[in-house]
Amino acid sequence: MAVIALAGGLGAPGVTTSAMALLMTWPLAEGHRVILAEADPDGGAILPGALQGTLGNTHGLRNLAIAARQGQLVEAFWRQLVDVTDAGSRDRLVLPGLYDPAHSSAMEPVWQPLARLFSGIEGHGHDVLVDLGRRGAFGPSAVLAQRADVVLVVARSTLRSLQSAQVRLEALRESVGGSVEVGMLLVDEGPFSKEEVRKTLGVPVTAVLPWQPKEARVLSDGAEQPRRFESGALMRSARSAAVRVRELVAMRRSRLAPPAGPVEGRVVGHAR
The reported pTM is: 0.91
Cβ within 8 Å of residue 177, ≥6 positions away: 146
CA distance 200 to 180: 21
Phi-psi region of 35 (alpha: psi -120 to 50; beta: other; left: phi over 0): beta
Residues 50-76: what's their mean pLDDT?
85
- Asked if residue 1 has pLDDT above 80, the reply is no
Pick the closest to residue 130 from 253, 245, 12, 236 (CA basis): 245
- How many CB atoms are located within 10 Å of the residue 142 CB? 21
Distance CA 107, CA 245 (A): 28
- β-bridge mates for residue 5, sequence order: 130, 151
Whole-number Å distance between alpha carbons of 149 and 17: 21
Q: What is the radius of gyration, based on Cα positions, of the chain?
A: 19
pLDDT confidence band for 271 (50 / 70 / 90): very low
Is 170:75 a contact under the CB 8 Å cutoff?
A: no
pLDDT tens track for 243-262: 999 999 988 888 888 776 65
